[in-house]
Chain A
Amino acid sequence: MDWTFNNDMPIYTQLVDKIKLSIVSGQLPPGEKLSTVRDLASEAKVNPNTMQRAFQELEREGLVFSQRSNGRFVTEDMEVIMEAKRAMAQEYIRGFMENMEKLGYTGEDIISLIRGGKEEDKQ
């Protein structure tokens, strides 16, 4: 996992995003056992309390669950994972749209631009 952080956002939300990305992309498959808070904190070079907070957030969203004494696991509920994936996609699209609008493009222009890009890729 890439553990670089932006300066303008809380660290724990960035941790949530990074782990979420690993889960929805399948890098952390459903049912996979997660490393301990301490190990992950050490790997990411962050405060264990911050990592803990990120996990709590992920638990709240249902993406991971903890089994007493066994540790933490990625959820096996594909519905939840897909839902998270959709939400993330929506988030990326919103950001993308914002940037495009800053460049002066509007809805239809953007779509045709993307199509054009795809055509070029094929050729």
Chain B
Amino acid sequence: MLGKLIKHEFKGSGRTMVPFILMCLGLSVLAGLSIRGMENLQDYGWFTVLFGIVIFLFVVGLMAVCIMALVVCIERFRKNLLGDEGYLMFTLPVSVDEHIFAKLIVSSVWFVVTWLVCMLAFVLMLLCNVDMIEVNWSEIGYVLNEVWGRLVDFGLLHIIAYILELLVLIFAACCVTCMQFYSAMAIGYSFSNHKLLLSVVFFFVINVALSILQPLLLSITGNAGVIDFMIESVENMSAPVTVHMILLGTFLYMLILFVILYFPTRLLLKHKLNLP
């Protein structure tokens, strides 16, 4: 059922995200062509103004996509689960966990996609002007060769693992961010009045609480000798393994934050649901 939820979640959110993404990519091509036009135009007529506007729109578009990913993340949870649509969603033969995870996964995917789209947009813009950039291919080849050599020296498997671990970490960070919004809304919407206002208040409360919790966690683990143990083990490890350990540690930290946010949210949605 999780798969089906995810499928429908993509349908519901893609309605908003896809047009924005396409607009962004379209604008990047237009911006690339504008830059090209500006280079070729000698007299500064109103064409320049037009091109300037297009480039400005491109920048705005990039920001808009990033903001939309966040808005969609929040609104899909708020409207689809806590609004009138909640009557439909929470009477589906699906568990609360599946609901939360479907929302989390899809939102996180959109965050990652947005990030990729931004990069792709820049690439597209550059590609429009590729013939104007003077490239010294032999030098690039040399540099790439050098880098490759270093990577091989370091251990190619490690590098691939880092990339995967980093991706997981990015995904985990997106999930934790989403959970901060979800938990705030789950609390805010369990009240009968001022739901939205309370959600905003609780969002800040949760943020403050987490920032207090962070040093607390550190001191607890520190007192328990975990950090000493870690330093000790790191000293005995090779450099590549140390990086793995740091990534793993960060992941575990994210996991703790996630669990702290997840279970209250789940409990509230299960027992304190207060649909309009």
A contacts B: CB pair < 8 Å: no
Which residues of chain B have a CB within 8 Å of any CB of chain A?
none
